[in-house]
Amino acid sequence: MKTVKTILIGIVWCVLLAGCVTSVDEALPYDQLPEITVATQFNLVASPSHPTAYLSSDKIPAGEKVRVIGTDKNAAWLLVLHDNLLGWMPTFFSATNIATLKPAVVVESLSDKCTKYLGATFAPDEAWISNGSGAVFVIGSIYRSHPEAAFDAASLTLQITGSGMVAESDYIHTPLTPASAVVLFAFSVDALQKGSEISFDLAKIGEEPLSFQAAFFSDECADHIDVSQLAIGEAKVMSTEQRDTMQNSGAASDPQPASAPLIISPSRNGIFFYDEFDSENLNAPWAWIKEDPSRWSLTGTPGILQITATGGDMALACRNHQNLLLQDALSENFEIQTKVTIRPTQNYQQGGLVIFEDMDNYIKLDLLWSDAFINDGNESGEGIELLSEQKGVFTPAWPAWPRAYLKLDNDGVFLKIRKEGAWYDGYYSKDGQQWIRLGSISVPTIANPQVGIFALGSNNAPNCTHAVPDIPVDFDFFHLNSIGTSGSVAQPGSTELLLNHFEESGYEYVWLADNAEKAVKILDIQIDGSNVIMQYNSNNGSLTGVLNDNVYTGKWASDAGSGDFEFTFASNFSTATGWWSEGDSSPKQIQFLR
């Protein structure tokens, strides 16, 4: 017996229990879809609530670019397009800051309490065979890379060979750019018997090339009634249920004001700032201290800010440096990054990142030449250091500050300073993905700090007169990112919601390592203000961190190791998604609470 369910392709959707599109940007179509760069390799998944629902065994490599279409309601996951495959990725796997992201669509995803990923197909006539009996959700997409007018009459038919009943369905069909569009569809199938097959018939599409995919999930969420047909050719701006409710209530149907499109560009909004140094002028709000315009350039090598360092320093009593480039820091915890290329040959030639109050109070992370590295037995004086001057004194004093021998070359080194409370951690990396922690410095107070980059020809303290040759220092970019406010008071109700859910339902702590899932129980939660400690039953494990609103960040530790973590909770604190890493340089892995 074959059952069919046909939908005609239209404009905005709410996919019943499978998930609602809660907002759609009326500014669509965009001139082009925004792109982000992937920070670490991962697999696209079919649903944010199912982190192991892999759509493909092929990982998207670090450094690859993907196009963003939407987010889940917590912005913890991004709906992205890569090689015409549409899927979800954790937000924290993006190397591009998305703090100002205004998604084209926002989707409330499937419940993880009553659904399970079963598989996917990637052609309409490719049959999916049920290996069990019961209800099934089908969620899919049709990506139109070259839209043609003939598609306006298209229809999509879900065909069941065996036994089953289509209970609910809905869809969206929206342009993405002037040259692309997407159809997102969903079906709820009841009473599907083991061995039954589901396939699709996509008709009246003309000769247009299409990319089709459908994901299947078991459904134990609710009972449904039989509705067997839905059109996808008719344009509509809301789900059928929403439209009927509005018409019955007499509500006005005037269009809502268009929301701003997703913008990833140099911005100064208290959240982040990027300058890729790819124009002939610096982006606001940079300001030079002791500028010598003849010794810096954005045009010599496009995409590079080159500062020519000359003899001078800001250490101790010296005040003869030039071309310190600064801007205001953020009031909350933050992170600054750059990539530096320098080939020093004389003592204390250097370049890097700086957090600056004045000449007597600053923190800097730099690449340099120091004879001390040779004295330590290394073949050259090249290295890296994290140094602080407080009230005119090196704190900690030489030789206690963090430093390491590091062979430098023309490929450059990525540098990062991460501020959390009074602690400043220094990191370096050869590829911008795998970071090595150099060390930490505690600085109780920096008044009105500024952040930026610097290049110095020589640390010539104490006489400040030693002459050295000029040396070019290249900077590829500068990024300033907010990372939240550790130690601040949690928003009212956050800890109460967390504790109430734990006492009523408990939490299962699940993490992924090498694509394998491990699940353990949270045994106890201790709360002191915004400080939260969770104990779990694996190797004496614990999560220790700070809860700010619905974001929980901190350190994990067990007999097996230790590292960092972050969770973002759902609004009712029933679930959380996030990442964990081990040590200072391991890649981030997916984890969640349920």
Domain boundaries, the chain: 2-21+33-247, 272-484, 494-593
In the 8-state DSSP scheme, what is residue 569?
E
Architecture of domain 272-484: Sandwich (2.60)
Q: Which amino acid type is present at position 545?
A: G
Asked if 172 and 204 count as a contact pair (C-beta separation under 8 A), the reply is no
Query: Which residues touch 528 (CB under 8 Å, ≥6 apart)?
Result: none
CATH class held by domain 494-593: mainly beta
* Per-residue model confidence (pLDDT) at position 260: 23
Residues 310-341 have pLDDT tens digits of 776 777 667 667 788 999 888 778 899 999 99
* Per-residue model confidence (pLDDT) at position 93: 80
pTM for this predicted structure: 0.48
pLDDT beneath 50, residues of the chain: 1-18, 223-271, 485-492
Asked if 506 and 523 count as a contact pair (C-beta separation under 8 A), the reply is no
* Per-residue model confidence (pLDDT) at position 583: 72
Q: Rounded CA gap, 305 and 281, in Å?
A: 10
**Residue 456 corresponds to which tokens in the numbers above?**
């110095």
Q: Which residue has the tokens 């300033």?
A: 480
Distance separating the N- and C-terminal Cα atoms of the chain: 39
**Residue 38 corresponds to which tokens in the numbers above?**
């992937």
Q: Which amino acid type is present at position 470?
A: D
* Per-residue model confidence (pLDDT) at position 256: 26
User: Per residue, what are the HEC states of 99-119?
Assistant: CCCCCCEEECCCCCCCEEEEE
**Residue 408 corresponds to which tokens in the numbers above?**
């430098």
Residues 181-219 have pLDDT tens digits of 888 888 888 888 999 999 998 888 888 888 999 999 888
Upper half-sphere CA count for residue 70 (Cβ side, 13 Å): 23
**Residue 320 corresponds to which tokens in the numbers above?**
């003869």
Which has the closest alpha carbon to 80: 116, 30, 45? 45
